[in-house]
Chain A
Amino acid sequence: MTATITAPPPVAAHRRSQRSRRERAGFGTVLVLVILALFAIGPVVVILFNAFKNNAQIGTNPLAPPTSFSLSNFSQAWTQGEFSTTMRNSAIICLGSVLGTTIISSLAAYALSHLKVPGGGAVLMYLFLGSALPVQMFVVPLFFLWIKLHLTDSLIGLIIIYWATDAPFATLLLRSFLVKIPKDYIEAARLDGASELQIATKVVLPLARPGVVTVALIVALWAWNEFFWAITFIHNPSLRPIATSFLAFQDQYSTNWGLTSAAALFMLGPVVLLFLFLQRRFVAGLTTGGVK
């Protein structure tokens, strides 16, 4: 399973291809690239269009661009979908998952890269294999365990599950950054009498900041989009994160495309904007972490 992390570094994508210098892109190439692009974002564009249209406009042609820009769908969706509540829930879940996963996996990644832990190799192997484990292997007993511990219908209950399911990926990704940090920095800090915890938090992690940021971004994205655990463990509507509450909203107003499209934009907007600004980090993180 080591191929997970040794999968070709996406950085390579930035290296200019020598071939492209030699060949000029023909019309056919560009045409197919454009068709593929339309296929990829066509559905997202339809959402964008419909969010600004009223039902009469959608009825005549659900796929056409809007002729006038009405914002009423947005205000209606915001209140009827209780987005102030669900966005707050999702923000808490994202923050909790990011903080917890980062702390848990930073400590583990430091131990597995610079502390020569006896049995560390076995732990690494376990993390690789563990990420291939289907959730069906543990969801049923986990559900009934969580009921006993009063962790169903609880944001922290969901957050703990995200810690456990995201930490293996986060640890492996961070470790791949930490192993590149020269031992000299750590030895120097040790000579100065720093404890291992101080070295981890004050020396190593600041040096591995790109890795930490990537992990935080991916964990936040997963927590925001996550569906399976949320629908299984949160049933109280006032605690629902944005994903499952959007599903309920969409079931309720399934014929009102304008309204559901506006609601969809509330969910997509932050992610797509963040992606456009931090594209490289998203791609780098997800192509190494795609094992999930």
Chain B
Amino acid sequence: MSGSIVVADRDHAPPGPARAPGARATRWRRGLVGWAFLTPLLAVNLLVVLGPSLATVYYSLTDWSGLGPATFVGLANYRKAFGDPDVREALWHNIIWLVLFLLVPTALGLLGAYLLGRVRKLQMVFRAIYFIPYITASVVNAAVWKMLLSPTSGVAYQLGQLGVPGVGDISFLGDPNLALYSVNFVVDWHFWGFTAVIYFAAMQGVDHDLYDAAEVDGAGSWQQFRAVTLPGIRPTLVFMWLMSIIWTLKAFDYIYIITGGGPGGASDVMATLMYRKAFSEYEAGYAASLGISMTILTALVLVGYQVLRRRGWET
């Protein structure tokens, strides 16, 4: 490779006849090398993600146990899913989960972030502490919360022992009316500190002149928060909500570990239901159709987000 060719191929080289004759060859060669560099990534992705995803599309149209041959049945799985009361209940649980997951971590995260901005000395210490639940393993978090929520040794039991009435024998995870909310609470606990750190970083980027101006206008802390802070971090808020919706559709680990979807399906969501259909009830074809449905929901959310962005709603 001669020096002149390389120079001619630089970013700012003018197009047309001024270009050295070998430039096109160099560019071509470099593109080829680039694709070679992308090959390991694309190959492993094709094997694990893309290939099986496309297979899911096919299997969702078949009656398949997972092991034997798959028989093509058209849209039968999807029709079955529409009428399946288990699917309806799981979807409803996803919606409850979403509402809580949008509200609780956001509220705690905004509160934490706002207060972090008001201290200096221990700012980094608090930030680190808030972040810890996000880096500890789901299996361990689930185990400790199982203990803390247990009716025979947990926090409520202890309060009952101390004489607080009516809380001593609450079975947070065993009561079908509470199980879903209890598991969601654990996930909110796992997650809120992460949002606090993100919101905190976003709040540091808000123009301080706006606060000064608001103060001159006589705005109190709460008014400043609503009129300056929240609009200032809106892109981050919207983005985190988008992610929360996507994470809600993926919600699996904590539910699977803590309640397994029980008692009696009371805390089942789409992901746990699908997992059971595929790996316990050997309805892999049906499970595939549930997986596709979840992906379509995710895609719709992403499209909606893009539309909102285009319309400038985000900023």
A residues engaging B (CB < 8 A)? 1, 3, 7-10, 12-13, 15-21, 23, 25, 29-30, 32-33, 36-37, 39-41, 43-44, 46-47, 58, 61-63, 103-105, 107-108, 110-112, 115-118, 120, 123, 129-130, 132-145, 160-161, 163-165, 167-168, 171, 183, 187, 190-191, 193, 196, 200, 221, 224-225, 227-228, 231-232, 243-244, 246-247, 250, 254, 257, 260-261, 264, 267-268, 271-272, 275-276, 279, 282-283, 286-287, 290-291
Which residues of chain B from 288 to 310 have any CB-CB distance to chain A below 8 Å in the complex? 288, 290-292, 294-295, 298, 302
The smallest C-beta distance from B227 to any residue of chain A, in angstroms, reads 15
A199 to B166, CA, bound (A): 69
Residues of A within 8 A of B298 (CB): 132-134
- Tell whether, in the assembled complex, residue B40 and residue A33 are in contact, meaning their CB atoms are under 8 Å apart: no
List 14 A–B pairs whose Cβ atoms lie within 8 Å, in order of A's numbering: A8-B205, A33-B122, A47-B140, A117-B34, A132-B246, A136-B270, A138-B52, A142-B52, A145-B52, A167-B41, A227-B139, A257-B147, A268-B140, A279-B124
Residues of B within 8 A of A62 (CB): 147, 153-154, 158
- Tell whether, in the assembled complex, residue A20 and residue B52 are in contact, meaning their CB atoms are under 8 Å apart: no
Tell me if B226 counts as interface (CB < 8 A to partner A).
Answer: no
The binding surface of chain B is classed by DSSP as helix
- Tell whether, in the assembled complex, residue B278 and residue A130 are in contact, meaning their CB atoms are under 8 Å apart: no
A216 to B57, CA, bound (A): 34
The smallest C-beta distance from B210 to any residue of chain A, in angstroms, reads 11
Which residues of chain B from 24 to 72 have any CB-CB distance to chain A below 8 Å in the complex? 27, 30-31, 33-35, 37-38, 40-42, 44-45, 47-49, 51-53, 55-56, 59, 66-67
A257 to B112, CA, bound (A): 31
The smallest C-beta distance from B111 to any residue of chain A, in angstroms, reads 7
Residues of A within 8 A of B138 (CB): 225, 227, 243
- Tell whether, in the assembled complex, residue B31 and residue A46 are in contact, meaning their CB atoms are under 8 Å apart: no
Tell me if B148 counts as interface (CB < 8 A to partner A).
Answer: yes
- Tell whether, in the assembled complex, residue B117 and residue A17 are in contact, meaning their CB atoms are under 8 Å apart: yes
Partner of A139 from the list B135, B154, B243, B291 (CB cut-off 8 Å) is: B291
Residues of B within 8 A of A231 (CB): 256
Most buried by B among A15, A62, A275: A62
- Tell whether, in the assembled complex, residue A138 and residue B49 are in contact, meaning their CB atoms are under 8 Å apart: yes
Q: Please judge, given known A-B contacts A19-B118, A43-B141, A44-B132, whether A7 and B198 are in contact too, CB under 8 Å.
A: yes
Partner of A267 from the list B137, B211, B292 (CB cut-off 8 Å) is: B137
- Tell whether, in the assembled complex, residue A115 and residue B34 are in contact, meaning their CB atoms are under 8 Å apart: yes
Residues of A within 8 A of B75 (CB): none
Closest residue to B198 on the A side, CB-wise? A287
Give the A-B contact count at a CB cut-off of 8 A: 315
Q: Please judge, given known A-B contacts A116-B31, A228-B252, whether A46 and B144 are in contact too, CB under 8 Å.
A: yes
- Tell whether, in the assembled complex, residue A63 and residue B189 are in contact, meaning their CB atoms are under 8 Å apart: no
- Tell whether, in the assembled complex, residue A117 and residue B284 are in contact, meaning their CB atoms are under 8 Å apart: no
Tell me if B120 counts as interface (CB < 8 A to partner A).
Answer: yes
Q: A133-B49, A227-B139 are in contact. List 10 more A-B contacts (CB 8 A).
A: A7-B236, A10-B198, A62-B147, A134-B295, A137-B295, A139-B275, A187-B10, A227-B138, A246-B140, A275-B128
Partner of A141 from the list B10, B55, B135 (CB cut-off 8 Å) is: B55
A187 to B9, CA, bound (A): 10
Residues of B within 8 A of A196 (CB): 30, 33, 37
Which residues of chain B from 260 to 315 have any CB-CB distance to chain A below 8 Å in the complex? 270-271, 274-275, 278-279, 284, 287-288, 290-292, 294-295, 298, 302
- Tell whether, in the assembled complex, residue B204 and residue A32 are in contact, meaning their CB atoms are under 8 Å apart: no
A164 to B53, CA, bound (A): 13
Partner of A44 from the list B120, B136, B270 (CB cut-off 8 Å) is: B136
Closest residue to A15 on the B side, CB-wise? B204
Tell me if B168 counts as interface (CB < 8 A to partner A).
Answer: no
The smallest C-beta distance from A245 to any residue of chain B, in angstroms, reads 9
Residues of B within 8 A of A104 (CB): 40-41, 44
A142 to B290, CA, bound (A): 16
Tell me if B257 counts as interface (CB < 8 A to partner A).
Answer: yes
**Nearest 8 Cβ contacts at the A-B interface:** A117-B34, A164-B48, A115-B34, A141-B55, A138-B52, A111-B37, A136-B291, A141-B52
The smallest C-beta distance from A75 to any residue of chain B, in angstroms, reads 20
A272 to B262, CA, bound (A): 31
- Tell whether, in the assembled complex, residue B56 and residue A140 are in contact, meaning their CB atoms are under 8 Å apart: yes
CB-defined interface of B191-226 with A at 8 Å, one 1/0 digit per residue? 001101110111011001001000000000000000
A10 to B113, CA, bound (A): 13
Closest residue to B141 on the A side, CB-wise? A43
- Tell whether, in the assembled complex, residue B6 and residue A191 are in contact, meaning their CB atoms are under 8 Å apart: yes
A120 to B122, CA, bound (A): 44
Closest residue to A9 on the B side, CB-wise? B201
- Tell whether, in the assembled complex, residue A61 and residue B158 are in contact, meaning their CB atoms are under 8 Å apart: yes
